[in-house]
Amino acid sequence: MNGTLEHVGRKSGKRFETPLNIFETADGFVIPIGYGLESHWVQNALAGKPLVVHKAGRSVPVANARIVSKADAERLVTRGRTVFRLHPYNEAALVVTAS
């Protein structure tokens, strides 16, 4: 894991930080989904609550989470595309940097 996603529980309202592999895009991040679309962090991100990506000593508030195919996500990755391609995941969550 090379970063964390800070998210708010859609039911509990509690803050969580989930360690994840996070890949940069031109305007945000792609995060591979390894344990299915029903994972709590995925559902929390899609619920529209505040999100923060912590990566390489930076904290970046992000928004507009959406699910995209692995192929679409791969085209968006700007660094580490080969590593992304090797991940055994079929889908990816795309999180766009908030303005």
Write down the CATH number for the domain with range 3-97: 2.30.110.10
* Predicted TM-score of the model (pTM): 0.91
Residue 91, pLDDT > 90, answer: no
Which pLDDT belongs to residue 53? Answer: 97
> Looking at residue 98, what is its pLDDT?
66
Q: Give pLDDT tens digits for 7-28.
A: 999 999 999 999 999 999 999 9
Give yes or no for a contact between 50 and 5, defined as CB atoms under 8 angstroms apart: no
**Got the DSSP string for the chain?**
--EEEEEE-TTT--EEEEEE--EEBSSEEEEE-SS-TT-HHHHHHHTT--EEEEETTEEEEEEEEEEEEHHHHHHHB-S-HHHHHHS--SEEEEEEEP-
